[in-house]
Structure 1
Amino acid sequence: MLTAALAFAGAALIINVVPGLDTLLVLRTSIKLGRGGGVAAALGIVTGCCVWGLATAAGLTALLTASRLAYDVLRVCGAAYLVWLGATALWKARRDEPAEEVPEPAVAGSRWAAFRAGVGTNLLNPKAGIFYMSLIPQFMPHGAPAFGTTVLFTGIDVAELAVWYWAVSGAAAKLAERLRRPRVRRRLEQAAGVAFLGFAANLLADRA
């Protein structure tokens, strides 16, 4: 089991550090709200991963491949959510609001919104469920209990993601002051908006 766990950890690490939608969300939120905001978004993402992992352990994610309708409904909902995130980012860039101090209650509310965004982008992405369903069985030792092994591997993946997003949020927060300049912030929002729309288009085009 130890050998299998280490092999899975290595494979998952390679996949986790490849820049993608979740990393973009943590990076953008960390720059806007500081490390606290980025950590909130990351917590939302890993919460979604835990849900997908438990669903895989219970055999529920098999419905995504067995039922084309279930996969398509989740895929379209996820794409619509990403379109909303992208459009919101582009609209904020267009408004060109001056930088200002945000009251603490508003910061707390923004962090809660960041957490919800992390959960939403993860749970509404059927590829996240397919990831657990397709990757974990490849490393599961023969005769090992499926439920317990899946939970163990999910825990390993979530731990790696937590460390990775902690590093990403910290690096982004250190650059936040420079990146919060109005012109740079507008460019960031524009780039993030286009990226979110690109992820939405990719999800809509998916035929897995």
Structure 2
Amino acid sequence: MEALIAFTLAAGLMTLTPGLDTALVLRTAAVEGGHRAFLAGTGICAGCLAWGLIAAFGLGALLAASEAAYTALRWAGAAYLLYLGGRMVLRARSGLDGTMDLGESARSDTSPRDWLVRGFITNILNPKVGVFYVTFLPQFVPAGADVLSFTVLLAAIHALEGILWFVALIAATQPLAAVLRRPSIMRALDRITGGVLIAFGLKLVLEAKRS
């Protein structure tokens, strides 16, 4: 339960940090309407579940093959979290880096179902999401827990948080879009999220030294 609570908080903070997925949903809600924006968000969350399954099977196989290799992956994950967190703190963004232009050339008569596919493809073809899942999720799998089932559970929690966040974005498209575009808000979210990632990375390093 402690691991689930910690992951829910950390993943929730990551979900709230504006990025490509948030930009796609905001743009779709503003231009195509709430229904298609929800379909795009659902596709994105389906991509998260797919990445979770990929990570779960891969991590489970790695643990079964070699405990040392799994430990090495956790060390690599800690290094990645420290790098990513430090980058977010030191180079906090002042905007959405142009991602709000994503899909501007899309036709207004695109089928609603196409937005579900578009959201899924946007997520599943983003290698950063894959790297994030492989490095982030293992930090929250307790010792002795079934890696496969617990990792899938974590991915499902992240996907649910994503759905809830996208619903909130769609329900208040204009006010939230205006707030998220503010440079001060973007910098604050990046720095807070970066600080959380650094804390988790340091926690993993300290635990490894004690073991």
Q: Which TM-score tier does this pair reach, normalised by the shorter chain? A: 0.5 to 0.7
| TM-score of the two chains, using structure 1 as the length reference | 0.60
TM-score computed with the length of structure 2 as normaliser? 0.60
1:119-178 Cα offsets, whole Å, 9 max, x none, are 1110110111111111111111111110011011011101100100110111127899xx
Query: In 2, distance between residues paired with 1:114 and 1:155?
Result: 21
User: Equivalent residue for 1:20?
Assistant: 19
Task: Give the Å deviation of 1:114.
Answer: 1.5
1:164-183 superposed matches below 5 A: 164-172=165-173
Match of 1:53 in 2: 52
Task: Show the 5 A alignment for 1:3-18.
Answer: 3-18=2-17
Q: Which runs of 5+ in 2 are unaligned?
A: 63-72, 74-99, 178-211
1:37 Cα deviation from its structure 2 partner: 1.0
Cα deviation for residue 86 of structure 1 reads: 5.5
Aligned residues: 142
Structure-2 separation of matches of 1:168 and 1:86 = 17
1:195 matched residue in structure 2: none
Q: In the alignment, is the contact (CA less than 8 A) between 1:30 and 1:169 conserved in 2?
A: yes
Report the Cα distance in structure 2 between the residues aligned to 1:8 and 1:121, rounded to whole angstroms: 24
Identity %: 39
Residue matched to 1:121: 122
Cα distance in 2 for partners of 1:58, 1:141 equals 17
Structure 1 spans left out of the alignment, 5+ residues: 67-84, 177-208
Match of 1:140 in 2: 141
CA distance in 2: counterparts of 1:55 and 1:145, whole angstroms: 15
Q: Is the 8 A contact 1:34 1:173 kept in 2?
A: no
Matches for 1:1-208 after TM superposition, within 5 Å: 2-59=1-58, 89=104, 106=109, 109=111, 111-172=112-173
| Contact 1:31 1:175 (C-alpha < 8 Å) held by counterparts | no
Measured in 2, the distance between the counterparts of 1:169 and 1:159 equals 15
Deviates more, 1:17-26 or 1:29-38: 29-38
**Cα 1:7–1:163, aligned 2, differ >3 Å: closer, same or farther?**
same
The equivalent residue for 2:199 is none
SS at match of 1:141: coil
Q: Are the equivalent residues in 1 in contact too, given 2:169–2:176 (CA < 8 A)?
A: no
